[in-house]
Amino acid sequence: MIIKVIALNTFKEAVRDRILYLLLFFAAVSILFSRVLALLTVGDRTKIVKDVGLASISLFGALMAILIGTGLVYKEIEKRTIFTLISKPIRRHEFLLGKFFGLALTLFVMLLSMSVIFLALVFFQTWTIEWRMLAAIFFIFVELILLTAVAILFSCFSTPILSSLFALSFYLIGHFSWSLETLIKKARPGATRTFLQVLYTILPDLENFSLKTEVVHGLPIPASHMLYSTAYGIVYSAFILALAILIFRKRDFI
């Protein structure tokens, strides 16, 4: 109940923030721009629209999660609004989870708005509703949930600017860590290989959530992959949130 109240208030805070609409506007421009790019392309124009559209949704969704998420907890402490809140009969983890679910709800609504624009564009291109796109968008949402947890974790102990940099690094590393897999295969067995394997295990692999290639090129999506990716996202998010709660529980609010 308390988590719900805080989540709804966080949602209210986020949707009354101008930065959200600025990002939504640019996301819309970027999605629509794919149509222009498609005109300049030789070959299958629909693929360009889908590819650029999904990439835009992923990127702007990530920016929303990071830019709003990193300020959520920090602002409460900095503006001292947390003083009144903690004095109420709530537990600290309820506060943090409320913030998390509030931002998740915000991102869901934003993702929905971007998807409507995107699906409409694809519809006018192909005159069919492509439901497979929804699978790709669902995994973008799972990725955003994980990013939200990361942004909130950093927000518990660091300023928004630093947190944004950390979270952005997490995002970038997460999208390139799959190349470690290739490196592991090429490395000789020994210390280097073990080190790379440990590194690959710890680092997030956000490419798990990217179904762009499959939906754009009409490749089959194995159910096992979908299950694995969903579980991976949930477990990783829960781990990061647990870490955030651990830090937050013992913090002094000076």
Partner 1 sequence: MKTVLSIANIHKSFSVGFIPQKKEILQGISFSVAEGEIFGYLGPNGAGKTTTLKCVLGLIFPDKGTIELFGRPHLDPRAKERLGFLPENPYFYDYLTAREFLEFYGQLFGIKRHERQARIAALLELVGMEKAAGLQLRKFSRGMLQRIGLAQALINEPSLVLLDEPLGGLDPLGRREIRDVIIHLREEGKTVFLSSHILQDIEMICDRVAIIVGGRIMSQGRLADLISEKILFTEVTVSGVEEKELAGLGESLTAQAGRTLLKVFEEDRIQDILELVQKRHGRIHSLIPRTQTLEDLFVDMVRPQ
Q: Give me the least distance between CB of 3 and partner 1, in Å please.
A: 11
Residue 247 dihedral angles phi and psi, to the nearest 5°: -70, -45
Residue 1 interacts with partner 1 (CB under 8 A): yes or no = yes
Instruction: List CB contacts of 129: < 8 A, sequence separation 6 or more.
Output: 119, 123
Q: Give me the least distance between CB of 43 and partner 1, in Å please.
A: 48
Looking at the Cβ atoms of 11 and 236, the one nearer to partner 1 is: 11
Site for partner 1 in 44-73 (CB under 8 A): none
CA distance 221 to 62: 23
Letters for 82-101 (x = contact with partner 1 by CB under 8 A, - = none) are xxxxxxxxxx----------
- Using the contact rule CB under 8 A, the part of the chain among 12-20, 200-208, 231-239, 240-248 near partner 1 is 12-20
Q: How many residues bind partner 1 (CB under 8 A)?
A: 26
Residue 173: CB atoms within 10 A of its CB come to: 14
For the chain, helix (H) and strand (E) counts, in that order, are: 11, 0
Own/partner contacts of 14-23, CB < 8 Å, gap of 24 or more, are 14/68, 14/102, 14/103, 14/106, 15/106, 15/109, 17/68, 19/67, 19/68, 20/64, 20/68, 20/106, 20/110, 23/60, 23/63, 23/64, 23/67, 23/110
Q: Give me the least distance between CB of 154 and partner 1, in Å please.
A: 21
Looking at the Cβ atoms of 45 and 92, the one nearer to partner 1 is: 92
Token digits for 32? 């629509």
Q: Give me the least distance between CB of 76 and partner 1, in Å please.
A: 9
Looking at the Cβ atoms of 24 and 90, the one nearer to partner 1 is: 90
Looking at the Cβ atoms of 35 and 75, the one nearer to partner 1 is: 75
Looking at the Cβ atoms of 91 and 217, the one nearer to partner 1 is: 91
Residue 16 interacts with partner 1 (CB under 8 A): yes or no = yes
Give the closest residue to 122 by CA, choosing from 221, 215, 59.
Answer: 215
Residue 13 interacts with partner 1 (CB under 8 A): yes or no = yes
Looking at the Cβ atoms of 87 and 128, the one nearer to partner 1 is: 87
Which residues of the shown chain bind partner 1 in the complex (CB under 8 A)? 1-2, 5-6, 9, 12-13, 16-17, 79-91, 250, 252-254
